[in-house]
Amino acid sequence: MTYKTIDTAEYPAQFADKAKRLAALLSPYYKGELDLHESPRSHYRMRAEFRVWHEQDDLYYIMFNPETREKIRMDQFVPGSELINTLMTAVRDYVIDKPILRNKLFQVDFLTTTTNEAVISCLYHKQLDKEWEEAAEQMHKALSSLTAKLGLIGRARKQKHVIGTDEVIESLTLGQHSWKTVQTENAFTQPNAAINQQMITWAMHAVGTSSHDLLELYCGNGNFTLPLATQFEHVLATEISKRSVASAQTAAQMNKVDNVAFVRMSSEEFSEALKGDVEKRRLQDIDLTSYDFGTVLVDPPRAGLDDLTLNVVSEYQRILYISCNPETLIQNIEALSDKFDVTKAALFDQFPYTHHIEAGVLLERKAD
């Protein structure tokens, strides 16, 4: 299904099909009820990327049908936030008659927040010179009134020009607390703000409050880390992306969270260090023996957990697993099934009108 053919009336049936599919996959390991979390039916995506199509004097956005590669004109984008739709029109209308900004423009990316902040990235098949920078400054000034904060970025081969900012501050309300996160252009963030809020809330309820420490692998910008830090004694969180770690550290200061340490390492590297196989320079200021890890949180890429990381997480009492690929999730659950039971499970519809499923499970060690 392409975005052009979205029919919001079909959403309940599509969501029900996803719930049945996930329940069937989990059935050998989990007999309880799935916690089901529906997405808003429109304007749920906070980021989007569009190719730009030049046709004589006209200029418009396109996406490609993933099956046929047919190009689909996108004058509006129903899944996109209201702000994305506003900025789509504003950018197109501004550059269409300005050759300096229009020439060789082949893609525009939008990152927005529920706090009305945005970063627009314009990608070019040409080098960006002083004349482009001056024209882009005027564009930034013209569009800034549409947002609370606006960043405009020009990208070309080995070039990145930032006007204003390349990051935004998102705010999520969880219970009585408002949490701020730093989201950066070209870095991963959860695309569906409403579902992200539900995911964090579910995770907090799933693990409850503990007197031990939390280990988190693949922590990104601290999206789960900081709210969960209120429920554990200490948190050690790892992430391979330097920019994401910097964003997480900034967010920790903004939210006045002081019981979290962030380490820039891949899960594989950290797993090796935990096993004592290698010494890692980035852990030189951290005494791993001082932590009492009882729960581990993983939010891996689509490939799931590698064998080494699986071996490491199997040492703890509980594993909170957030998955963007139910097939690899089931493979990992199978590998852990001798030692762990799935005690809670949830479906989060990050990507309505697609086949993609986001899931969360809590695995708890079996009684001896």
- Mark the binding-site residues for S-adenosyl-L-methionine, compressed into ranges: 190, 218, 223, 239, 299
CA–CA distance, 318 with 304 (Å, rounded to integer): 17
Catalytic residue at 67? no
Cα end-to-end distance, the chain, whole Å = 48
Q: Whole-angstrom Cα distance, residue 276 to residue 205? A: 33
Q: In this structure, are residues 361 and 344 in contact, taking their beta carbons and an 8 Å threshold?
A: yes
Active site residue 358: yes
Hey, what amino acid is at 336?
L
Q: Which of 33, 315, 358, 364 is catalytic?
A: 358
Which stretches does DSSP call E strand in the chain? 35-37, 47-55, 58-64, 71-73, 105-112, 117-124, 149-156, 159-163, 167-174, 177-184, 213-217, 235-239, 260-264, 293-298, 318-323, 340-348, 358-365
CA–CA separation, 267 vs 121, rounded Å? Answer: 30
Residue numbers belonging to the annotated binding site: 190, 218, 223, 239, 299
Compute the CA torsion angle 218, 221, 227, 230 (nearest 10 deg).
Answer: 80
Residue that the structure tokens 């960006």 belong to:
128
Active-site annotation holder among 70, 324, 327, 364: 324
The token pair that represents 85 in the structure block: 């739709």
Q: Which residues are catalytic?
A: 324, 358
